[in-house]
Amino acid sequence: MNDHSQTITDYAHQSPIPRTILLLMEREEIIRDPLTQEDLIGLHLVEQIWGNRAVLRAQLNRMSLHTRERFIRTVALNSKWERYAYSRYFNQEPESRLSLTQVIEEIQITFRFEMTRKQINRIRKIRTQAQVARHREKKKRNGTISYKAQTKK
């Protein structure tokens, strides 16, 4: 296959840039599918700085500290429904109860899909992650986190 008819999916197999990002670039009309020679040149430039800490630092520096912290907490959550579940549990009112069933129903209605058992188990893990983060945030606000206990010797 020559470079002029390479698809985004084909390109993603050999590139450090994830397919989801390439598809986002296509939706925003930055590149086309199949990729043109111009697209390939641009993507080659992006690959050279992809994941570069100095570039990431400059991008993150434009966000407020609060926004950066929120972003970093959810960076491993790849789908919108996962981030939704996390934010529902993380932002829940203190002393209130939010059932797993309620969150599952909200996700199924909002994102229009029937959740599988694997996805429901994923929500359970996300709930735990959000609860731990809330607990740490509460301790941090109250000034009770022991940083000595968190450092390795």
Is the Cβ–Cβ distance between 46 and 18 less than 8 Å? no
Q: Taking residues 117-135, report their average pLDDT.
A: 95
Prediction pTM value: 0.74
pLDDT over 70 percentage in the chain? 91
* pLDDT tens string 26-57: 999 999 999 999 999 999 999 999 999 999 99
Write down the pLDDT at residue 137: 86
Write down the pLDDT at residue 1: 43
The percent helix, strand, coil of the chain (3-state, each to 5) is 65, 0, 35
The CA angle 91-95-96, to the nearest 5 degrees, is 65
